[in-house]
Amino acid sequence: MVRIGLLGCGNVGKIIATHQEGFQVVGVFDQLHEHAASLSELTGAKPYSDFNEFITADFDICVEAASIVAVRAYALKIIEHGKDLVILSVGALADDAFREDLISVAKENRKRIHIPSGAIMGLDNLKIGQISHIESILLRTTKSPESLKMNVSTRTLAFKGKAKDCIKLFPKNINVSVAIALASTHEVQVELWADPDVDKNIHEIFVKGEFGELYSKITNLPSPDNPATSYLAALSVLSLLKNINSPLVIGA
């Protein structure tokens, strides 16, 4: 049984910790200790109020379900303490220098960094961009104004430009753009729309390359109690953890 330490005890962390299959959450940490204590009561995992105590606990993999700020603050220390790492707030890796430092430390410590598919599907197939020419990638995301903290009465373009710039303005909403860029090793253009007529998170992906053309549309239900995050993002972490040691590997 894979032993998990959970960094972040909000809505997504709760979904992960209360749907354990093929893994066991043994420790939980959150800067708001009452969140860790509450999740501990639900799962039996030990709550930690001190990060240094948490990271020396007996678990194999640390799952980050907190924020980009948390990844930047804790990721290097997690790997240096001999833990593999699952990063949900992949927008933190849009910082080239930070990402390269993290990869370097992982290599030195023979640890692995896992990036789940998050709020989209087909992330593994986009890795063909590492070996075959990709001409263009566009991510068009539509969310409710509430989730983007906007007050608009009509469909409004909130951002248009590069993924690494969008993540700076909307760090909780567009992590998938950075995941796509990392998988494909290609710059991703983003259109982020606020639409008062939608109650779901919609991601449309347009890719052109030597392989042909790809279009996908994912319409996600928001996570319970958090309209900024897709429920699929939490489910993708559960799927990763369930299969992390499987002898049968499906997908590129």
Give mean pLDDT, residues 148-173.
Answer: 94
User: Residue 185 domain-assigned?
Assistant: yes
CA distance 15 to 37: 15
User: Residue 24 domain-assigned?
Assistant: yes
CATH number for position 159: 3.30.360.10
CA distance 230 to 200: 8
Same-domain check for residues 188 and 158: yes
- CA dihedral over 32, 95, 102, 247, signed as positive or negative: positive
Q: Number of C-alpha atoms within 13 angstroms, CB side, residue 227?
A: 14
In this prediction, residue 224 has a pLDDT band, given cuts at 50, 70 and 90, of confident
Same-domain check for residues 129 and 109: no
Question: Which pLDDT belongs to residue 227?
Answer: 65
Query: Is 203 marked active-site?
Result: yes
Same-domain check for residues 144 and 71: no
Give mean pLDDT, residues 134-141.
Answer: 98
Give mean pLDDT, residues 90-95.
Answer: 96
Same-domain check for residues 15 and 80: yes
pLDDT at 7 over 90: yes
CATH number for position 90: 3.40.50.720
CA distance 21 to 3: 11
Give mean pLDDT, residues 219-241.
Answer: 84
Last residue of a domain, one of 86, 114, 142: 114
User: Residue 164 domain-assigned?
Assistant: yes
pLDDT digits (tens, 9 = 90+) for 37-46: 999 999 999 9
User: Residue 69 domain-assigned?
Assistant: yes
User: Residue 234 domain-assigned?
Assistant: no
- Active-site position among 33, 81, 133, 203: 203
119 marked as part of a ligand binding site: yes
User: Residue 242 domain-assigned?
Assistant: no
Question: Which pLDDT belongs to residue 51?
Answer: 97
Same-domain check for residues 12 and 106: yes
Same-domain check for residues 181 and 209: yes
Give percent of the chain with pLDDT exceeding 90: 84
pLDDT digits (tens, 9 = 90+) for 168-218: 999 988 999 999 999 999 999 999 999 999 989 999 999 999 999 999 999
CA distance 18 to 99: 30
Question: Which pLDDT belongs to residue 252?
Answer: 59
Question: Which pLDDT belongs to residue 77?
Answer: 98
Same-domain check for residues 110 and 132: no
Same-domain check for residues 109 and 150: no
- Looking at residue 101, its amino acid is D
Same-domain check for residues 61 and 134: no
pLDDT at 151 over 80: yes
Question: Which pLDDT belongs to residue 27?
Answer: 97
Q: Which domain holds residue 223?
A: 125-228
Same-domain check for residues 88 and 170: no
Last residue of a domain, one of 62, 93, 114: 114
User: Residue 252 domain-assigned?
Assistant: no
Give mean pLDDT, residues 17-43.
Answer: 94
Question: Which pLDDT belongs to residue 250?
Answer: 87
Closest CA to 105 of 126, 130, 83, 131: 83
- Average per-residue pLDDT for the chain: 94
Same-domain check for residues 110 and 148: no
Number of domains in the chain: 2
User: Residue 236 domain-assigned?
Assistant: no
Same-domain check for residues 165 and 85: no
Give percent of the chain with pLDDT exceeding 70: 99
Question: Which pLDDT belongs to residue 46?
Answer: 97
